[in-house]
Each structure stands twice: as C-alpha cells, then as structure tokens.
Amino acid sequence: MRAFLNQAVVAGWKLFEPGLDTILSSPRTLRLAIILGSLLMIVKWPVLAVGVLWISVVWAIPLMLSDRRELVRLRSVCQSAGAEAGTLRNVLIAAQEQIARLEQELQEAKEHQGRESKGHRVFRRVGLDTAAPRFVIDAARKEFRRRLHPDLHPVHRKLEAERRFKEAEAVFDEIWRVRGFSN
C-alpha cells in the first residue's frame, strides 16, 4: 500500500511539474495546488504534512480575507462609478439642452438683427443701432479713433490708415448730425 501511495505522489508531481508556472501564477490555483500537495503529503509524511497544512491555512486564510475585502471595495467603487456616470449623463443632457436653446436664441437674434439692420445706413457702417445711447456712440468713436489713428500704424500703411480714420470720423459726424448731439 505504501509503495502504491509513493508512486501516486511521484505521478502527481510529474503531472504538476510542467504546468508549475501556470499553477503559481494565480493565487486560487496556487491554493488548490497546496491543498492537493498537502493531501498527498499526509499519506507519505504525515508530520510534515500537518506543518505544511498549518502554514498554508495561516497564509491562505488572511489572503482569502484580503481578497474578499478587495472584492467588496471594488464592488463599492464600481457602484459609486456607476452613480457618478449617471450624474454625468444627466449633466451632459442638461448641457446639450442648454446648447440647443442658446443656438436657437442666437439664430433668432441673427434674424432679428437682419430685420433691424434696415435702419439708417450710417449707423450700420460702424455697427451701431439707431437707438444706441450717446455713451455707446462715444465709446465706439473712441475705439475707432484708437484703432485707426494714422500715427499708430507703420509708414507703409499710414495713407490707408489716414483714409479709414477720416472716413470713420465723417461717419460719426453724420451720426452726431442725425441724432442732434452737440459737441
């Protein structure tokens, strides 16, 4: 009987030896190999087998508990990620609705501007509305003066800048005359 068990142990080892790297690569298969090896050792060397079983239990139980804790933690992370994804999905939907609403408002404003721009052509030349208050017209005139003043341009562009500056000044003088402002 003992000879048969010795042959079984040797045969079992020969079965496991080629795939030992595969067995040792996963904690689950490693535990299974330790348990099977321990059972085979009980038959051949009972005292040594008890020691190996005791060590594997001392090592395996904390490992299994840590695996269990990690599994619980990962499930919790997965659930919170799912909830966060749901929240982000709702935010995305709200943002898309707001974008659609703003695009609609922009389109309506462009259409309204197209209808309104049929006002006085002098105002249209400088981008002002015929109902613009005086302070807006003053600010626009200052900005045109600042950007178009010939002294701020290089020599090769001075003539063009001077022409555009005089043109803008004439437009604003016309606006002053149309609106009845006094200097």
The answer as to whether 101 is a domain residue is no
| C-alpha atoms less than 13 angstroms from C-alpha of 65 in its C-beta half-sphere | 6
pTM confidence score: 0.36
CATH number for the domain that contains residue 128:
1.10.287
pLDDT bracket for residue 11 (50, 70, 90)? low
How does pLDDT run across 52-94, given as a tens digit for each residue?
667 766 776 676 677 778 888 989 999 999 999 999 999 999 9
Within-domain flag for 89: no
Any domain includes 80: no
The Cα 161–Cα 150 span in angstroms is: 5
Cα 34 from Cα 53, distance rounded (Å): 8
- Whether 66 and 125 share a structural domain: no
> What is the number of domains present in the chain?
2
Task: Tell me the per-residue pLDDT of 24-42, one tens digit each, with 9 for 90 and over.
Answer: 556 666 667 667 776 766 7
Distance from C-alpha of 124 to C-alpha of 118, rounded to nearest angstrom: 8
| Residue 18 forms part of a structural domain | yes
Contact of 30 with 67, CB cutoff 8 Å: no
How distant is the alpha carbon of residue 167 from its chain centre? Answer: 50
Say if 113 falls within a structural domain. Answer: no
Q: Are 145 and 162 in contact (CB under 8 A)?
A: no
Domain finish residue from 53, 74, 95: 74
Quick one: pLDDT band at residue 15, thresholds 50, 70, 90?
A: low
Q: Which domain holds residue 157?
A: 121-179
Q: Tens digits of per-residue pLDDT, 91-123?
A: 999 999 999 998 998 888 777 665 554 557 777
**First vs last Cα of the chain: how many Å apart?**
124
Q: Show the beta-strand stretches assigned E in 81-174.
A: none
Same-domain status, 6 and 66: yes
Burial code of 87-107, b = ≥16 C-beta within 10 A, e = fewer?
eeeeeeeeeeeeeeeeeeeee
Domain assignment of residue 36, yes or no: yes
Picking from 45, 74, 103, the residue at the C-terminal end of a domain is 74
Instruction: Report yes or no on 140 lying in a domain.
Output: yes
pLDDT above 70: residue 47: yes
Token output for 79: 């659930």
- For position 77, what pLDDT does the model report? 92
Tokens of 53: 């079983």
In a domain, 96, yes or no: no
pLDDT of 177 above 80: yes
Are 38 and 56 within 8 A, CB to CB?
A: yes
Domain boundary among 74, 104, 129: 74
